[in-house]
Structure 1
Amino acid sequence: MEALRVEFTGDAPRLRTDQAMVRRGLVTTVSSPAGTAAVVGWAGSVHDRLAGARALLGAFARPGPEPALPIGDFAAVLVCRDRVLLIRDEQARIPLFARQSGGRVSAVSTSARGLGSAAELERRYFCRYLTGNMAQPHTELSPFTGVRRILGGEVVELSVTGRMRGRRLSRTAGSTVGPPVAVTDGCTPGQQLRRALERAVGRRLGRTVACHVSGGTDSTSVALLTARLLAAGQEGGTGDLVLLAGRFGGGELAGERPYLDEAVEAVRALAPGARPVIVDADDVADFDDFPHHAGDADEPHAHAFRAPFWSRLHAAAAELGCDTLLTGCGADPIVDANPFHLHRLARSGRLREMTSQARARAAAGEQGVRDIVRTHVVQPALPLTCERINRLVHRGTVLGGLGHFTRPPWLRRGFARAHGYRAAGAAESRFLFGREPEQSLYEAANYLAAPDPLSWRCAPRNGFFLSHPFLDPEVVATMRRLPTEATFRPGCPKAVLREAMADMLPPRIRGRTDKIPFNEPYVHGLRAHGDDLVDLCRSARHPLIAEMFDIDTLCQAVREAQLGMGDSASWDRMNGSLALVVWLEGLLDERAAAPGATVPVMVGS
């Protein structure tokens, strides 16, 4: 999906933006004597995208030290008199790619497919993709040879003829790195989080705002703050509020309904005009219309199996004209006590304190002390070794012991060796845990939600991108600053968030410590579509599928998952591989897209 495209032909670049997306407010183009900026998404705030685009152009068009990136979900191209800048925000919500060869860029687009050739696929990318769900957003590789990704937080400088001049990573204004520090501004941890979260929500308010509401602490907190800001007319919030939820009438998930009803009631007490849109989801199962959801994505989409549920909800929000949709995504790793703090204690030799905290966590949860130490101390130190040992212990089935990094049995050994699977697994483990796993957790949490291929592909029709206040750089920086003693309270997950929202959360929701897992749609989907998934694999025509996968073993994995064997990690590996099969088949069936309505913008050198 091409929201914008830049072609370097002759002495001046040619910038085109999709006019339909401009009308929906998803692309903003501004010009000044310094040049032209095309911003996909928003920089600064959703409700004033024009001002944010002008500020971005003004800041980066000036000579001198490079400014920090503004907070926002955006990809931008700045065409100035003497240079072209390609920029993505640090959270990397909006994709941006460049086709380059020999130090020169020939084209830039938000679509990898729009720049690449289906006949020239990058096999190293597929090894990277198959190592885990977070592999795509933080690697330069794209599925197509010669097409590279602009990374999150990266600023790439080109000449007006496309010659590469430099590339550098830039930090978001206000973000912090380093170890936690004690609170010094006189506010309690809850007050600090409340202040940061309110600002994060305020930046995302548009004319008609939709909030995912599930009845959990996270989504309810976002919806309550949205209602409060809209009612007070703060942060530019003068629009309408839609409460978007999926409702299950039977099965385990029906147990979430009392919490959902209470959340909606609490939000409407603050904003009586809020419109609940409760979508019946009993007939929705994972893998419904899987060839469409997995095959039409710009890149392989590991979570395409869950797209039927979210697409139904998002279609309901689109019918009401919502221009922004807020979620509670990211709260679990961001505002809860960081479990990898145990690794830091062990790393610094504070073993007695580490053991004491591990026991406290075990007493408050369902894991034993050994499980907690293995997961949060040993595995981050030796991730690949731990997975290999686990695989040997649980061998005997295709899915048994399959973790995030080890080669899945259906990936052919020769393909993996030839195209760098081992190096890809090591790179993924370094990203997920890093030298300091307690810091890597925040990066991994962000990339787990970014970019969202379903939201991106449907944006021209829906008129909005998903946005996640808990993953706002200011919220992440606030939680990083807090010491462990402020966030870790045994038996009380997300203690700081509960403190921050104590005056607003309904008692039933404030007191709950767990949610019903979203397993039933997956189980129903495998039962309903397992045979079709097997047939799809056996009938696959793309030559790379047979080169890459042992189809019989992949089909056996599907059968095992149907029987309930394996765990969430092994199922994710299987789901991602199935999505890749469908995506490759989609390349064979791809038809030349009709040119969309575009507006050319010419900028002289």
Structure 2
Amino acid sequence: MARVIAGALSLDGAPISDAFVRGLATPPAGALAYDVRTWAGDGAHLAQTTFCEPSGGSEAASPAQDENTGCALVLSGHIDNADDLLDELGSRAARGLAERYGESGCVLASYLRWGRTAAARFIGEFAVALWDPRTRKLLLACDHVASRPLYHAVSRGRFIFASTAAQLFGAGVAREVDETAAVTFLYRLDRDFRSFHRGVDTVPAAHTVEVGAGRIELYRHWDWPSRPPATRVASGVEIEELRGIFTEAVRCRLARREPMAVPLSGGMDSSSVAAVAGGLAGRGDLVAPRVYSWIWRTEPSVDEARYSAALAERHGLDHVLIPADRAWPYSEVDRWRPFLTDPYLPPHDALWRLLLERARLDGARAVSLTTGADQLISGSPDYLADWVARGHWLSAAREARARIRAGSSRAALRGLVLPFLPLAAQRWRRREAAGFLEQMMPSELARRHASELPVPAITGPSGWWEALRGAVGWSGLGRSLAYHDRLAILYGLEFSHPYLDRRVVDFVLRAPPDLFYAAGRTKTGMRNALHDLLPPLVRDRTDKPNPYPWLRRVYRERLAPRARALAADSELERRGLVTGEPLRQFVERYIGGDDRLFPVFWYSFVVEVWLRQEAGRLDLSA
């Protein structure tokens, strides 16, 4: 069930009208019907919005309330371990709340037992807001990766929060660009997911915001391990554990009442989700999802139809093919404008729109994505230095030889040598990509941000693990999740991310590194764990086409006039965030065929579009 949540707390004692709260809970402009339910008490207001079925039906739910304490709660997302929590709670009152309000009731009962530490016990994808009249405090909490964002601000004597920043602006919060946030995004300096507007904050992943007694406090309710696991070599037993954990992550997302759609590219990540779902459906454990694949007739080099078809046929899944040749990037920015509250708008946005429109028409209520898979299960070749440093010389030598035999001599050398290089040498190795961006940076900004320039992920023998842990809190992951959440709201869908399941990530962080990268191959853990579920054509493939060659061509053919016009009268340059001449040179060089400049082109294009939107002068009709 897709939900948007919102609420307000009076800080000055002035009343807040129900009409204001209903307006706050109204989703940004879209064509879908919705139902808003509210709760009010002691100056606090909570609201949750449920999207209706295309047929007009609705499964609207009211905010959860406990009559004995007066506590009330709204929940966006889902709690996967609700049954376990109820068993641990073991009371009739807890089960009564769960029977009446579902997972929201379980969360409320957990808070009544364990207080604000209850959030650490929740496994799932959630954002929750709770009012406790006994302490007169409002609590906002997000899951371990903030897959369901929450934005908040103080405006006109009120603390207000909502699932999207657009809701806050619609309720009268000042919309002022935070240029520091824009700079850190444009130049890839941001380390944490943050709002792009002054006075608007986000609830960080695995954190709780507590509002009360004239104070707003932030504390972490859960954290990942801070140190790498003891060095060991994969023994084989980890394969079954990985299979069990990943299967449960997929099962608990697909076992809900919502009809599920699974995008299927034919690569390992989406094929693994579809294969596990197909295997569970084959045993009768759940209803088989429908799978969706993009196909290209004019770009055979990026088409993966034969791989996706092999997986769908292997499990008897209903397979929908979506022609993607005319999914031009940014072809529907006008429709996206109400949601364009930050500059993250990926190049493949139009592909997602095609898929989601079709899935919604087919009756899907939820979509399973592969967010985080590349960062978590690809594996890193850089762990050999760790093995050498910790005395596992024989294992390191065997793995290096296996890589060389597999034609991955470079990976063998990289894994043994690169982590031991001085930081300056590693920075020089990655200088080219960062150098283009730095050439656009005005001198004053360069001096201000000199210490923040991108640094290598590998900074010692344990760098492979530090990079893996850092990927969980990477700002790019947070921005991707926030983008997908807005996209889900636009189409009235619920998105889920099985690779970011807390149990999956916890397993990856404690697993031996050769489980996921061995003998020059990536994602070996998933290939082995799902050996019997993946067709050989998919399981054993060594290539991975992607739509970027097609996207680059389309950018050059269709966006060149727009990009030139934007660069010629740049809002970035007006605000002193770039030096204009290098920007225009890079745009021309990219249009002329220099693919190295694609990141520069994309980052500058989307930030420019967003800033023009904020300044009220966005016109993409050229």
Q: What TM-score, normalized to structure 1?
A: 0.80
- Does 1:377 find its partner at 2:419? yes
Q: Secondary structure at the match of 2:381?
A: coil
In structure 2, the CA distance between the partners of 1:445 and 1:109, relative to structure 1 (3 Å rule), is same
- Does 1:123 find its partner at 2:124? no
- In structure 2, the partner of 1:247 is 295
Per-residue CA deviation, residues 203-242 of structure 1 (Å, 9 max, x unaligned), is: 21133111111122221121121123234443xx3x4521
Among 203, 222, 227, the residue aligned to 1:171? 222
In structure 2, the CA distance between the partners of 1:474 and 1:119, relative to structure 1 (3 Å rule), is closer
- Does 1:501 find its partner at 2:500? no
- Does 1:229 find its partner at 2:280? yes
Task: Note the C-alpha offset of 1:145.
Answer: 1.5
Any residues of structure 2 matched to 1:381-396 within 5 Å, and which? 382=423, 386-387=426-427, 391=431
- In structure 1, the partner of 2:28 is none
Contact kept? 2:437, 2:600, Cα under 8 Å: no
Per-residue CA deviation, residues 27-71 of structure 1 (Å, 9 max, x unaligned), is: 873222341111122222799995322222222233557232412
Contact kept? 1:247, 1:257, Cα under 8 Å: yes
In structure 2, the CA distance between the partners of 1:421 and 1:225, relative to structure 1 (3 Å rule), is same
Among 309, 314, 323, the residue aligned to 1:261? 309
Structure 1, 107-116 or 581-590: larger mean CA deviation: 107-116
In structure 2, the CA distance between the partners of 1:503 and 1:357, relative to structure 1 (3 Å rule), is closer
User: 1 CA distance for matches of 2:264 and 2:443?
Assistant: 44
- In structure 1, the partner of 2:610 is 583
- Does 1:320 find its partner at 2:348? no
Task: Note the C-alpha offset of 1:89.
Answer: 0.3
Q: Secondary structure at the match of 1:219?
A: helix
Q: Percent identity?
A: 21
Task: Note the C-alpha offset of 1:246.
Answer: 0.3
Quick one: which amino acid aligns to residue 190 of structure 2? A
User: 1 CA distance for matches of 2:383 and 2:457?
Assistant: 17
Among 73, 87, 104, the residue aligned to 2:141? 87
User: 2 CA distance for matches of 1:328 and 1:225?
Assistant: 13
**Structure 1 unaligned residues grouped into runs of 5+:** 269-273, 392-400, 592-605
User: 1 CA distance for matches of 2:61 and 2:533?
Assistant: 35
Q: Secondary structure at the match of 1:17?
A: strand
Q: Secondary structure at the match of 2:594?
A: coil
- In structure 2, the partner of 1:7 is 8
Among 409, 414, 420, the residue aligned to 2:439? 409
In structure 2, the CA distance between the partners of 1:458 and 1:169, relative to structure 1 (3 Å rule), is same
Among 130, 133, 143, the residue aligned to 1:78? 130
Task: Note the C-alpha offset of 1:168.
Answer: 1.7
Structure 1, 190-199 or 524-533: larger mean CA deviation: 524-533
Quick one: which amino acid aligns to residue 266 of structure 1? R
User: 1 CA distance for matches of 2:222 and 2:275?
Assistant: 30
User: 2 CA distance for matches of 1:495 and 1:8?
Assistant: 50
In structure 2, the CA distance between the partners of 1:281 and 1:45, relative to structure 1 (3 Å rule), is farther
Any residues of structure 2 matched to 1:115-514 within 5 Å, and which? 115=168, 120-132=176-188, 135=190, 138-139=192-193, 141-159=194-212, 163-164=215-216, 166-171=217-222, 178-180=227-229, 188-205=237-254, 206=256, 207-234=258-285, 237=286, 239=287, 241-253=289-301, 256-268=304-316, 274-289=317-332, 293=336, 296-301=339-344, 303-342=345-384, 344-345=386-387, 357=399, 360-361=402-403, 363-364=405-406, 368=410, 372-373=414-415, 377=419, 382=423, 386-387=426-427, 391=431, 401-403=432-434, 407-417=437-447, 420-425=448-453, 436-444=463-471, 447=474, 448-450=476-478, 451-514=480-543
Task: Note the C-alpha offset of 1:430.
Answer: 7.5
Task: Note the C-alpha offset of 1:354.
Answer: 5.6
Q: Secondary structure at the match of 2:270?
A: helix
User: 1 CA distance for matches of 2:591 and 2:337?
Assistant: 20
Quick one: which amino acid aligns to residue 285 of structure 1? W
User: 2 CA distance for matches of 1:578 and 1:275?
Assistant: 38
User: 2 CA distance for matches of 1:512 and 1:201?
Assistant: 23
Task: Note the C-alpha offset of 1:76.
Answer: 1.2
Q: Secondary structure at the match of 1:304?
A: coil
- In structure 1, the partner of 2:22 is none
RCO greater where, 1 or 2, for CA within 8 Å and sep 6 or more? Answer: 1
- Does 1:31 find its partner at 2:58? no
Per-residue CA deviation, residues 82-141 of structure 1 (Å, 9 max, x unaligned), is: 22111000111121122259xx97222222344466663222212221243x937x24x4
Cα-Cα RMSD = 4.0
Task: Note the C-alpha offset of 1:536.
Answer: 2.3
In structure 2, the CA distance between the partners of 1:445 and 1:304, relative to structure 1 (3 Å rule), is same
In structure 2, the CA distance between the partners of 1:516 and 1:366, relative to structure 1 (3 Å rule), is farther
**Structure 2 unaligned residues grouped into runs of 5+:** 14-41, 84-97
Contact kept? 2:420, 2:461, Cα under 8 Å: no
Task: Note the C-alpha offset of 1:245.
Answer: 0.7
Task: Note the C-alpha offset of 1:244.
Answer: 0.8
Quick one: which amino acid aligns to residue 16 of structure 1? A
Contact kept? 2:307, 2:538, Cα under 8 Å: yes
Task: Note the C-alpha offset of 1:445.
Answer: 5.3
Per-residue CA deviation, residues 357-416 of structure 1 (Å, 9 max, x unaligned), is: 45644553556258725995267x62x76445654xxxxxxxxx123x985322322234
Contact kept? 2:152, 2:160, Cα under 8 Å: yes
User: 2 CA distance for matches of 1:402 and 1:26?
Assistant: 49
User: 2 CA distance for matches of 1:590 and 1:37?
Assistant: 40
Quick one: which amino acid aligns to residue 325 of structure 1? V
Contact kept? 2:382, 2:416, Cα under 8 Å: no
Contact kept? 1:8, 1:105, Cα under 8 Å: yes
Contact kept? 2:403, 2:412, Cα under 8 Å: no
Structure 1, 457-466 or 216-225: larger mean CA deviation: 457-466
Quick one: which amino acid aligns to residue 577 of structure 1? S
Q: What TM-score, normalized to structure 2?
A: 0.78
- In structure 2, the partner of 1:66 is 117
- In structure 1, the partner of 2:86 is none
